[in-house]
Chain A
Amino acid sequence: MEEEMHTDAKIRAEIGTGCSPRGPGCSLRHFACEQNLLSRPDGSASFLQGDTSVLAGVYGPAEVKVSKEIFNKATLEVILRPKIGLPGVAEKSRERLIRNTCEAVVLGTLHPRTSITVVLQVVSNAGSLLACCLNAACMALVDAGVPMRALFCGVTCALDSDGTLVLDPTSKQEKEARAVLTFALDSVERKLLMSSTKGLYSDSELQQCLAAAQAASQHVFRFYRESLQRRYSKS
């Protein structure tokens, strides 16, 4: 009888499905999200974009070491673990980008002298890793109940040699592209929170990519809304 109750308890995780299937031009891969799947962290989420999958856990607001405490706001820490090997410089730089995005959105002044830690584990990497990490971090922060002033999402664009824009590229498309741009956008006015770009592109192409990312972020935010509504409808 005890086993029955435990299996019922496991059905609390939600799986949501994303938007249209991949076609030529601008469309996102299939995405899915699961919340509250880990028992130890205060909030957790797993975000899937095509074959790229990232697991995020959030602890906070929790105790902070005196050396790291900030007197008037929360100390936000992001830890990114790659799938294989030890974390290196690339992970450090991604951690910094994700941390800056989260700090812009999380209301740290409500919890001074505490720490909010986001731990991200790459489960599989098939392109658009940074965007997937951002989405997973956002869902995990919402699951943990950390106060935020808006939601945020990550969108990746790749520009190939003839200038065609591909949203949410796979690793093969990223390798062949001449520029890969990742943007973090907020949910209130689709403002740009963070941008990380690699490669060669012109000013007008940057504006085009940003506009395409803003349009695509709508799908992501709609998906967030649907998956959160589904989660709360069960209670």
Chain B
Amino acid sequence: MRPSIVISPGLPALKQSNRSPQAVPEPVAKTTRRRLAVVGALVIVSFGSIAGQLTRLGLRADATVKSSIAAPLSLHFARPNIVDRKGRLLATDVLMPSLFADPALIIDLDEVVEQLTALFGDLNENSLRASLQDRSRRFAWVRRGLTPNEAQKVHDLGLPGLAFRRELRRVYPAGAVAGHVLGTVDLDNKGIAGIERYVDEEVGVEPTHRSSDKLLAPVILSLDLGVQHGVRTQLADAMKRYKAKGASAVVMDVKTGEIIASVSLPGVDPRQPADRLKASLQDKLAGGTYELGSIFKTMSVAMALEAGLGTLNKTYDVTKPVMVGRKRISDTHGPKRALTMREIFLYSSNVGAALIGLEAGASYQKAFLQRLGVLGKIRTQAGPVAQPALPKYWNKAATTTISYGHGLAVAPLQFAAAAAALVNGGIKIKPTFLPTIPQDKDESNREGGGAVKDRVLSARTSLQLREILRLNVTSRIGTGKRARARGYRVGGKTGTAEIPGKNGYAKKAVISSFLAAFPMNDPKYLTLVSLFEPQGTRETRGAIAAGANAAPTTARIISTIAPLLGVLPRQLN
């Protein structure tokens, strides 16, 4: 009989027992031993397995796994990309480093301020010092939206207390080419003007950390970057050539109202939000209203034809000046004889236009302009268009002056949109910066078709207007003959408006405009070019009238953009 072996303090009862070994019966001892052996084995197996598992896991540990501490990113508004009608990028979001300081960690404030102002020339030393002086603050922006190059330079300074935080910033890869239309964003990537504002209000932005490329569908504009650039280049050239203070031009699809190009010079840079506050850089197309002068005669002739006053061959006696109250309206140019309505247009006779206006009457004129959309309040996706400045009383005097484009100030964009109906077959269009969805063939706004409610002019009148607009460029006597663009059927009307000042109209300060459409056999595009305060030059032989500057500018613009727009030249069209 072997005594049972005490192997574990877990069996204290056995150890402290005074009973003789014999007291434990043999089968019990055997059972105990077996149990102990099993327990022992289990313990060994389980610890062994844990050891084995750890070894296994340790051995196949993935070497690429790193500890991951995410770089601090502030929450931002991801904005959709803005692209032109051909998908070219106009605005996008990228993550860029922004520099901030922890004033508590700055050791030598003077050095930090000195080094940073040396690096960023436009950083205000005093305000920087003030913001970094307060050691109780743990965070102060130094500069937001650094280029990677700048960030590297700051990093290389090795100054303690400075750190970066990556933020989404808006970038405009095409530069200032469409500044007025695109608008701008503030420091927190929120749209505050133009299309950027429209994006915030209508399309929606996403609060997020990541770039927007995959997140949001791009906003496609009706603008064509190539055309926009072409127009801008030609306008800049015209400003220099004619020593003008400013210039604007719009290119519009006459059937859909899509704005293909919209340029106002001097322009604004979307990267410089402060530009928008300067009155001199205002968008001349939509942001200001101007008396546009004789291009309004197109409206007057349309009105006469539409009112059934007569045909283009109806004659008016323009030899005598028209007297309205104390106001005397006379022509400085043109033959001294009775003129047909067609000739009134070609010679741009103020007397003739006044007679037409008087014949139609004030109320008809007002209603007609209202119907075309010259007088109403309009807006585009880029914001509201400046409201037209109407005469206080629409009396006889107003009627005569409005007939030739004075006494009623309207934004060029609004006028262009209304004028589109004159050449597109008589259908009113709405100017838009978004591409329109191609309509069903049966319902398309083509000549003769179109919804009745949109028709503001008979197709016949529109056809006659095309004829005289084209004639004004091709005819020897037309004021727009210098708008001839070799190879393209251009038609248009000049307008030279004196700018009203404190002491009546200034003779030498004018806005000269040219309203044009092409190709004239089936107009697709309309352009309205305006030069603000052009000077007489040798090229214009001292003239400041639109026929000498705005007309040739239009010709150059159309020659440049027609191939880009897919308009075939005359020999193929």
- The answer on A and B forming one complex is no
**Residues of chain A at the chain B interface (Cβ within 8 Å):** none
